[in-house]
Amino acid sequence: MTDDIGMLKGMALDVMRKAYCPYSKFKVGCALVTEKGNIYTGCNVENASYGGTICAESNAIVHAVAEEGPSMKLRTLVIASTSEDPAPPCAICRQRIGEFGNPDTAIWLVNDKQAQISYTLSDLLPHPFVFSPEN
């Protein structure tokens, strides 16, 4: 499968509309493609205890791991939001993308106003934390 950004954008915008965000009113959706060519989506799900909130990117990644297993690798993500400018992933989500992606993983940011920007993971997370048992 080729990464059809238009299709992924539509999927991210569709799932964004399903977000549960009664506190922030900030809707986010994510559609991603794995190296196996499978597509998974997720939206943000807030919680009154803010630490219990799940970001759209994390939701989609967890879904992909649940389906493909721990060797799942990311190829492309499209993240949609209702913000004036397309919103980048938070720091925790950048690190989570780094856990399953590579420096060239494509990340597209879009909004419901037809704006879009593209980055690679290395653009958004130039120095990821990497666990090394020797440290």
Does residue 57 have an active-site annotation? yes
In angstroms, what CA-CA distances link 121 with 19, 82, 91? Answer: 24, 22, 12
Q: Among residues 57, 84, 99, 134, which one is catalytic?
A: 57
Rounded-to-integer distance, Cα 133 and Cα 135, Å: 5
Query: What amino acid positions are annotated as catalytic residues?
Result: 57
